[in-house]
Amino acid sequence: METDKIQPTEHPHIVKILGPSGIWQAAIKGTYIRVWALVGCYKRGMDEWEILQGFPTITAAQLHDALSYYNDHKDEIDGFIQDNERAYDEHLTEEWEAQPANQTVLE
């Protein structure tokens, strides 16, 4: 990671990474794992063990710090979660509509 694209935060395991779109996003230090991805798993009902199994390169301390960061920055992280859910839904819709069997023929 380029150091000019990384900013420290008040949380020891969390940094801000400048993404290709020019938006700073909170991530686990030393990784590209975004806090919003971990929080999204937690909000969908995954427990700590399940999240750590899904992200085996992070520690329990890093996960707890990500959740703590979320509690301090809810609007920021919830915004990223909503943006990514919306983009995913749009992608699925486009993919579904591109299937010939799903196109309606109007006569």
**What's the distance, Cα to Cα, between the start and end of the chain in Å?**
56
**Interval 41-51: pLDDT, tens:** 999 999 999 99
At residue 86, the pLDDT reads 73
Fold classification of 3-98 is: Arc Repressor Mutant, subunit A (1.10.10)
**Interval 42-98: pLDDT, tens:** 999 999 999 999 999 999 999 999 999 999 999 999 999 998 787 656 655 666 666
At residue 101, the pLDDT reads 62
SS3 51: helix
